[in-house]
A and B are shown apart, each in its own frame.
Chain A
Amino acid sequence: MIQEKYRVLPGPEGFVPVTAALMGAVLPDAGGAFVEGGIVPETDALGLIAEKLANAKRPAICPGPLLMWQWNDAVAPKAAAVRELAGACGAKIYPMPDYRSKSPRINPEIEISVNHPNITILHNDIDVCLFAGVHSHYANFALRMIRGGTSCYTICLSDYAASDEAMISLRDIDAAKIAAITTKIKSSTGRS
Chain B
Amino acid sequence: MSKSIITPAKEFEDVLTPDYKDLVDNGPYNRSTPVTVDDLGSFREITEPHPHCAGCGVALGIRLGLASLPAPEDTIIIGTPGCAYFALTQSAVPYSCTAFGNQNSVATGLKRMLRVRHPDKVKDVLVMVGDGGVADIGLDYTLHSWFRRENIATVMLDNEVYGNTGGQESGMTVQGAVLNMAPTGKKFPKIPVFELSKTSGCVYAVKTTVASPKKVGTAIRRAILTAREVGPSYVQIYTPCPTNLKFSPDKSLEYAKEVEKTYYRYEEYITEEASEYLRGIGELKCC
Contacts and interface: CB of A to CB of B under 8 A. Distances in A.
A137 interface: no
A12 to B, nearest CB: 27
Interface of B: 1, 4-12, 15-17, 20, 48-51, 86, 89-92
A98 B4 CA distance: 15
A103 B9 contact: no
A95 B17 contact: yes
A142 to B, nearest CB: 16
5 closest A-B pairs by CB: A79-B11, A70-B7, A79-B9, A71-B5, A83-B11
Nearest to A115: B89
B12 A103 contact: no
A122 interface: no
B48 A79 contact: no
A97 B10 CA distance: 13
Interface in A73-100: 75-76, 79-80, 82-83, 93, 95, 97-98, 100
Q: How large is the interface on A (under 10, 10 to 19, 20 to 34, 35 or more residues)?
A: 20 to 34
Contacts of A79: 9-12
A72 B4 contact: yes
A118 B8 CA distance: 25
B49 A103 contact: yes
Contact of B12 (A67, A72, A101): A67
Given A68-B12, A80-B11, A111-B17, A101 B89 contact: yes
Contact of B8 (A68, A72, A111): A68
B4 A97 contact: no
Contacts of A76: 9-11
A149 interface: no
Given A68-B8, A101-B90, 17 more contacts: A68-B16, A69-B4, A69-B9, A70-B4, A70-B7, A70-B8, A70-B9, A70-B10, A71-B5, A79-B9, A83-B11, A100-B92, A101-B89, A103-B50, A103-B90, A110-B15, A111-B17
B49 A95 contact: no
A148 interface: no
Contacts of A32: none
A83 B17 CA distance: 17
Contacts of A5: none
Contacts of A80: 11
Interface in A126-141: none
Given A100-B91, A101-B89, A69 B8 contact: yes
A97 B20 contact: yes
A123 interface: no
A102 interface: yes
A67 B20 CA distance: 15
Given A69-B5, A69-B7, A100 B90 contact: yes
A43 interface: no
Most buried by B among A70, A83, A111: A70
A66 to B, nearest CB: 10
A107 interface: yes
B265 to A, nearest CB: 35
B1 A100 contact: no
